[in-house]
Amino acid sequence: MHSVFTEFAINSKATRQDVERAAHKLLCCPGVEGVELFGSIARQGYGNDVDLILIVSDDLAQEFIFHVHRLLETKRYRHDQGKGFYGARALRRVAAAATLGRKKFNNIYAHASKWTTPHLIEVFLFPADWRKQLHELQAIYPHRDPEFMKKIAKDAVVLLDGKDRHPSGCVCEVCGGLG
Ligand SMILES: [Zn+2]
């Protein structure tokens, strides 16, 4: 009995391969210029937290910040103010959709999620040079852990950049099979 549950716990984790497929799908979203991974899956190759950084232009990164703060003021997400940026999961996803185009992003996100189910994909929209702005980003995205951004930078690995985007109309299992 013990081994069955242990196996299930291991099998239900997302793997680096699952995440790479999801990342490929997210790269199909206009405005996404690259994808980086941090957290447990970046460190050990599997885990429960699919923490992805979507690299966007400086303008879109600013827009994401605007939407995060705008949403924090709404009745629906006001309770997220105490959670800090990492805890505000749904809010980050809604802010990403508002930044990248709601319909397009939500559709691509839903398809990307099929590779990591039951684990939700966590999205952060950062500019390409985010590693040079850890202090500023930490200030903009308050977190209980004052080293939060530094820890992300320590873990983060580049999964894909713009050159990895498949041509439009690609029918591989990531682009085609799942829409
Ligand atoms: Zn493809």
Ion ligand 1 — residues with CB < 5 Å: 166, 170, 172, 175
Q: Are strands 50-56 and 34-38 parallel, antiparallel or unpaired?
A: antiparallel
Structure pTM? 0.89
* CB contact at 8 A, 77 and 71: yes
Q: What is the DSSP letter of 9?
A: H
List the domain boundaries for the chain: 14-164
Compute the distance from residue 167 Cα to the ligand 1 centre, in Å. 7
Averaged pLDDT, 87-113 = 94
DSSP of 91-153, one letter per residue?
A: HHHHHHHHHH-HHHHHHHHHHHHTTTTTSPEEEEEEETTGGGGHHHHHHHS--SSTTHHHHHH
* Cα–Cα distance list, 52 to 6, 24, 36, 156 (Å): 27, 12, 6, 9
Compute the distance from residue 165 Cα to the ligand 1 centre, in Å. 8
Report whether pLDDT(178) > 50.
Answer: no
Compute the distance from residue 50 Cα to the ligand 1 centre, in Å. 21
Give pLDDT, residue 179.
40
Report whether pLDDT(8) > 70.
Answer: no
Compute the distance from residue 94 Cα to the ligand 1 centre, in Å. 26
Look over the chain and give the mean of its residue pLDDT values, rounded to a whole number: 89
Task: Give CA–CA dist 42/155, Å, rounded.
Answer: 6
Compute the distance from residue 172 Cα to the ligand 1 centre, in Å. 4
Compute the distance from residue 36 Cα to the ligand 1 centre, in Å. 18
Give pLDDT, residue 169.
81
- Cα-based angle 163, 140, 147 (whole degrees, multiple of 5): 85
Averaged pLDDT, 23-43 = 95
Task: Give CA–CA dist 57/59, Å, rounded.
Answer: 5
- Tally Cβ neighbours within 10 Å of residue 116: 21
Compute the distance from residue 174 Cα to the ligand 1 centre, in Å. 5
Phi (first) and psi of residue 51, to 5 degrees = -100, 105
Report whether pLDDT(53) > 70.
Answer: yes
Compute the distance from residue 77 Cα to the ligand 1 centre, in Å. 36
